[in-house]
Chains A and B, each alone.
Chain A
Amino acid sequence: MPEVLTKTAPITEINRSLYDFTKAEKDVEKLSSGLTEEIVRQISAKKNEPAWMLEHRLKSLQTYNELHIPNWGPDISELNIDNIVTYVRPNTKLSANWDEVPEDIKDTFDRLGIPEAEKKALGGVGAQYDSELVYHNLQKSVAKKGVIYSGIEEALSGPFAEMIRKHFMRLVPASDHKFAALHGAVWSGGSFVYVPPYVKVEIPLQSYFRLNSPGAGQFEHTLIILDKGADLHFIEGCSAPKYNVANLHAGCVELFVGENAHLRYSTIENWSKNMYNLNTKRAKVEKNGIMEWVSGSFGSHTSYLYPMTILNGEYAKSEFTGITFAGEGQNLDTGTKILHNAPHTSSVVNTKSLSKSGGISTFRSAVTITENAHKSKASVSCQSLMLDDKSRSDTIPVMDVRCDDVNVGHEASIGRIDDDAVFYLMSRGLSENEAKTLIVNGFANPISKELPLEYAVEMNNLIRLEMEGGIG
């Protein structure tokens, strides 16, 4: 144990300024705020995209206007779409050469450690700044295997145009909920990945999203298609500086996991605490396929985030590992949805949530076993830790079982840090805050061990950051 302790960096070293810095907006092109047909047409026109996409955008807009905001979940009445700028184009074009990226944007990603990570551990990197991708690169060794990793808009006019048309917003239709419709209308930027049959991508690919412009929205679309037997680990990182006005993130992630394919999708979300994160993520898994989600939610003012897995083929499997840390002023409603729609499918959900300094964290889940899903198994386990008596933590699961020969289990527990454990550590010379930080890190450990090393370190830093200033 002492060895672990000496490795703990002093708490004061970590500083939120790592993420919380702003850049002046130089020569950016910004559409006016609000949402009208005119704005949607303008976005479409700038992108020079196929006609079906404009049609899709306009239809989505119509759906958006018809749908209500949810009658459940955190309050989003302060989010006024009339004040959100849906499109902000940085003063640059998409580049595959880091040197061509403008200095201020380059500096931003440098400070976030993105190019360094690319050198060390990534097979490819995409970087989005406000509404557009500014950098996209794929290592030659990976490209040689036939793996496609590019901007999705760019791919819309290439050889994969038809494939994209067949998959785009088919998993997450605009009618799914109001913010999916909003995404359908104003989406911009994001990545497209295709992994050919039986190709194993040995090193992870990563997309990093940075929202710099105040009062703006980010609506990137990520589409990943794994062909039969393919294998990929995709990492997504997000951050933004804090402004006094509301920012909105309503991205959409659609993942198609083919027969015998394996996809791991990891996210460390650290949006600033003025962000409304209304993101939609969904995966469809075919026979014998495996989908793994690793999801860390630390940032945002308000989140609605429930990555969904549809187990659509026999013996398809999914695993969801998540952690949510809600601090001061945050209302994070996170969880997952699983739909078992074929025989012998199995799913495991394991989540941890923490609440501190008045933060609200809610674990929300839904496990559905349809009439088709004979011999399926589902298990959900969620643990919540209350770090003080000013915060709140709710657990809201639904299980919907329509088949008898199945096994569905659910476990939830809620409580606070064990006083005896704190006393034990303090008796060995740790301060109360160090002791609690150590215990919280231990609580989060099952999640961080699922992440690549650099991200696990980042997550531990985020936890330490949240714990800073003393608790209890």
Chain B
Amino acid sequence: MNTLLHANELPVLTWNRFNVNYKQIELSNTADSKIEPNITGSTNNINIKDIAVSDELPVIGSNNKVINYIMANASLRKKIVVNKNSHNDLPLIIDLTMHNDDKLTALFDIILEENSIANIIISVSAAVKAHGQYADLIRIKAAAHAKANITFLQLSGQSSIAFNNITAQLDNEAHIKIHQIPLGGKTALASVTANLTGYKSSVEIYADYIGQSEQDIDLNYVACHYGSKSTSDIKMTGILLDSSKKTARGTIDFHRGCKGASGNESEYVLLLSDKVKNKSVPLILCDEDDVAGNHGAAIGTLDEEPLFYLKSRGINEKAARQIFLESTLSRLKNILPANLAAKIDNYSKDVLCNESI
């Protein structure tokens, strides 16, 4: 008994033959496995409780069928409230560990009260070869002047599917930075829909991936500007190895009335195998004149000029590829606490070292 979903739907459709309008996935409806999160770090001014039906957040963005699926299946439901005016610089870490054949559906509501500051990291990981299914919906509501860093690290097993959805609603001068790191999984989906309703609200969305083997990575980012002077910045960076595939959709959507808003979107993809497949769909939708929207993408392999520069320092092509990988991994490790950085190290040792780069 599975549910067929059109995940990561493009806000405005285009030619069907390119297969980018959505990603069709099939998710299981069997009961979730029992998985308790390991919560560590800063909890003084942050209250965590189970979500009651009565205090559900208004659903924003994302596809209704996807939301219905998560609502119907989620066994893990946590509400994280960051108290008004509290500054929590140390990260709150929610670590989920899955075992072979596990299924987990999670719903997180993150409520950032006025003028609060928080740093929240959610990690889901499993043994390298594990089979399984992870799906979630993380709903963020940021009150005026709230600031938060939200990081999601996905290190699911190599034969599993992982589907990470984040929605965010931002009030006046709220600022949220969302970093998705979908490294694991045979099929890895990640999406963020940010509604910039507040004046001067701003969102930064970063995605980092390293496609390997037969991995299929599918990303969908949407920044909806409603508030005047709201800003968005979407940056997608990745490396594709072996026979991996990746589709990245990024949309900046300026709604009428978002005077003075600006949105930027950039994508950098390094292709390191002639069997990879890369699709990029960067949209700018504009219903307001007083805005500035920009997009830039560069897709390809190492150019001759940078390659000459690297070789002039004694680094050959093969070594150059290795440094690209190491640079990406070390950058990711630097933004994570030690125990999660160690997980990336293991992943790199178990998965990436075997790659024929």
Contact = CB atoms under 8 A, between A and B. Distances in A.
A413 B286 contact: no
A399 B279 contact: yes
Interface residues of B, number: 41
A398 B20 contact: yes
Contacts of B301: 404-407
Nearest to B302: A405
A401 B300 CA distance: 9
B13 interface: yes
Interface in B58-82: none
Nearest to A363: B284
B14 A396 contact: yes
A394 interface: yes
- Which one of B20, B280, B284, B297 has the greatest number of beta carbons of chain A within 10 Å? B284
B282 A401 contact: no
B314 interface: no
Contact of B13 (A72, A397, A399, A407): A72
Contacts of B297: 399, 408-411
B88 to A, nearest CB: 37
Contacts of A72: 12-16, 21
A82 to B, nearest CB: 26
B293 A413 contact: yes
A5 B290 CA distance: 27
Interface residues of A, number: 38
A412 B15 contact: no
Contact of A410 (B279, B290, B293, B296): B296
B56 interface: no
Nearest to B18: A398
A337 to B, nearest CB: 8
A405 B299 contact: no
B130 interface: no
Interface stretch (A154-162, A277-285, A384-392): A384-392
A16 interface: no
Nearest to B297: A410
Given A398-B281, A399-B297, A407-B303, A414 B16 contact: no
A429 interface: no
A47 interface: no
Interface in A386-439: 386-389, 391-416
A50 B289 CA distance: 54
B2 to A, nearest CB: 25
A374 B275 CA distance: 12
B122 to A, nearest CB: 31
A308 to B, nearest CB: 11
A392 B287 contact: yes
A471 to B, nearest CB: 10
B4 interface: no
B214 interface: no
A392 B286 contact: yes
B250 to A, nearest CB: 11
B276 to A, nearest CB: 6
B252 to A, nearest CB: 9
Contacts of A396: 12, 14, 281, 283
Nearest to B295: A412
A414 B271 contact: no
B274 interface: yes
Given A412-B295, A413-B294, A400 B279 contact: yes
A399 B15 CA distance: 12
Interface in A252-275: none
Contacts of A77: none
A405 B272 CA distance: 8
A408 B292 CA distance: 24
A396 B271 CA distance: 23
Given A71-B16, A409-B297, A394 B289 contact: no
A411 B296 contact: yes
B298 interface: yes
Contacts of A406: 271, 299-301
B283 A394 contact: yes
A366 interface: yes
A73 to B, nearest CB: 8
A57 interface: no
A394 B14 contact: no
- Can you list the 7 inter-chain pairs with the closest CB atoms, starting with the nearest? A386-B289, A72-B13, A404-B271, A414-B293, A407-B300, A408-B299, A410-B297
8 contacts: A368-B18, A389-B288, A395-B286, A399-B278, A404-B276, A407-B299, A410-B295, A414-B254
